Amino acid sequence: MASFRDKFWLTLLLTTPTVVWSGMIQHWFDYTAPRFPGSAFIPAVFGTIVYFYGGWPFLRGGYHELRNRLPGMMTLISLAITVAFLYSALVTLGVVEGLDLWWELATLVAIMLLGHWIEMRSINQAQGALKELAKLLPDMAVRLDESGTTKEVPVAELTRGDLLLIRPGASIPADGVVKEGTSAVNEAMITGESKPMDKAAGDRVIAGTVNGQGSLRVEVTGTGDETALAGIMRLVEQAQTSRSRAQALADRAAFYLTIIAIVSAAVTAIVWPLLGRPWSFTIERVVTVLVIACPHALGLAIPLVTAISTTIGARNGLLVRDRRGLEEARLLNTVVFDKTGTLTLGSHRVVKTTAAEGFTDDEVLRVAASVQRDAEHPIAQALMTSANERGIDVPMSQDFKSMPGRGVRAVVEERLLHVGGPALLRMLAVEPPETLRRAAESAAADGQSATYLVEGDRVLAVFAIADAIRPESFDAVKRLHDNGLEVVLLTGDSTAVGNAVGKELNIDTVFAEVLPEDKVAKIEELQAQGKRVAMVGDGVNDAPALLTADVGIAIGTGTDVAVEAGDVVLVRSDPRDVPAIIALSKATYRKMIQNLWWAAGYNIVAIPLAAGVLAAWGIMLQPALGAVLMSLSTIVVAINAQLLRRAVRSP
């Protein structure tokens, strides 16, 4: 970019005397440039320097295009400036009679260099987010030795197993696991999640994220290319370089436009002399045709949109692995969700609490979690997790005893309490009140586990425990329905569980009790009905289905971004990002089509004008004006692509 910038400014400086001493310019603006011996050759001398210095990138590019038998924009530019140079040189040397085109040549090269500089700046800005990711990693890290002494070392020296001290406000230099300390870490730059994530011992942290107010001791699990940040950068770079159908269309359009321009220039060169026009007029028309038809903007139309869309996606937690997947997302009419870990949390919670008369839900959950505090059963974990998420302070218990197949018992605040399933009630010979019995039956009908809290001969509560639905799933399904898409649930769980989740989320179709190897058949069944299907899954168990679907959307996490099966990876595992992908796809496609028209559509009118079809009425385009129009289309394409940044908003 700096090379084109410097070349443009020097070429502009060389162009100035070429224009000032041009006889045509002096005639148009009615002035006389200073005269001295040799001043008549100033346009030729400076124009020649501009041709070889400023025009060299185009001449070299045109040579490579022709050598590879792929004529394109460099071919047209080099043809235009070479024709103008040779003709002007012959006129200056007196070999042929006519008006030279030195000033047109010089201004044409200057404008073309300006257009290239603007193009490179636009692409550089579009890829700025990727470069910003690289800046997230700090240069230095604070490493702890076995004695606890700190030492500041370069990040490049870190290895797996190193223990790091992460001070408040510091960037985390490597992926790792918290060994000691509590804090909240800002992961927005990696996952797009605006809310800082609480971290404690055992939690994973991501390189490039920013620690909050607490101090953490972190054991390194990944450095350099092994980090999540490096994985994100690889995926974004891969997406920006992968080809799409729209890019193939743009390439074909550029090729055909090149052929049309060359043919039009040849016809122009033949017809005007036959009509009695002088060679100066004919060459000027030929140069203008070649310049104005240059598919420069076409070469920028799609790659720039792609660069912007993939960096927008990465900034919002949507990693595009394959541009074709992003392009296809706009055509979807059916979205298939895996249940566990996608629409649900993937771990059990208390989804409903029914307390006996005289007790509150929080009160019974508090003591039930206390009874199960020392147990390792999933039911115990569900009670403890649900209590913690509700901010309930769980007291210590005493005299804990496990009763296999029945439940557990413990003393909580001098009360002997039991927690367990129906077998516990039979052992204790107690009957729940009618409201609790109906709640337990309702839970069983929905495929949920019913767990009872018992004190003495009285049942105090029943807890419905299941894989809890993500709160974001409700909004995700609603957004998809609002956009006219059918939503399908695909799960290996029982029909009762599948139907219960489907009913609660208002899902259109539920396929339950589907084995992993049978998920592909379900996707193909939907496709056979003429539906364009996206599959949303965890990217491991659902890999075959993700690959079979028209668009595979892999649920990832902040530290697991290299999911190979999906076209798109949802870094923060938020199902609301699925409608965001579709919105980005539609907006990206709109910008691509708009840019193709901006880049090539004006040629429908411009090429005939450049060839001089309205010359009889005095309407003609000069080569420099043709270069301005062509460069203007490049600028419009660049600005239009930048407007894509408004397309995606975080949930």
Question: Which residues are known to be catalytic?
Answer: 338
Q: Residues 103, 18: contact at Cβ < 8 Å?
A: yes
Q: Cα-flanking dihedrals φ and ψ of residue 283, to 5°?
A: -65, -40
Please tell me the distance from the alpha carbon of residue 166 to that of residue 163, in angstroms, as a whole number: 10
Token pair, residue 144, equals: 């702890």
How many C-beta neighbours within 10 Å does residue 478 have? 15
Please tell me the distance from the alpha carbon of residue 477 to that of residue 575, in angstroms, as a whole number: 8
Q: Cα-flanking dihedrals φ and ψ of residue 561, to 5°?
A: -100, -15
Q: Which residue has the tokens 């804090």?
A: 183
Q: How far is CA 245 from CA 252, 328, 401, 530, 566, in A?
A: 11, 10, 65, 21, 19
Residues 6+ apart with CB under 8 A from 441: none
Please tell me the distance from the alpha carbon of residue 4 to that of residue 630, in angstroms, as a whole number: 18
How many C-beta neighbours within 10 Å does residue 454 have? 24
Q: Which residue has the tokens 């908003």?
A: 649
- Can you tell me whether residue 409 is helix, strand or coil? strand
Token pair, residue 236, equals: 């974004």
Please tell me the distance from the alpha carbon of residue 76 to that of residue 430, in angstroms, as a whole number: 91
Annotate 55-71 with DSSP letters as a single string. Answer: THHHHHHHHHHHHTT--
How many C-beta neighbours within 10 Å does residue 427 have? 15
| 204-223 exposure pattern, b = at least 16 Cβ within 10 A, e = fewer | bbbbbbbbbebebbbbbbbb
Specify which residues 255 forms β-bridges with. Answer: none
Alpha helices (runs of H) in 275-377, residue ranges in sequence order: 279-292, 296-315, 323-328, 361-371
Cα dihedral 361, 363, 366, 367 sign: negative
- Which of 530, 564, 533 minimizes the C-alpha distance to 548? 533
Please tell me the distance from the alpha carbon of residue 35 to that of residue 279, in angstroms, as a whole number: 28
Token pair, residue 402, equals: 């496990």
How many C-beta neighbours within 10 Å does residue 326 have? 27
Backbone region of residue 155 per phi and psi (left: phi > 0; alpha: psi in -120 to 50; beta: other values): alpha
Decide the pairing of beta strands 486-490 and 334-338: parallel
Q: Residues 592, 602: contact at Cβ < 8 Å?
A: no
Q: Which residue has the tokens 């039911």?
A: 379
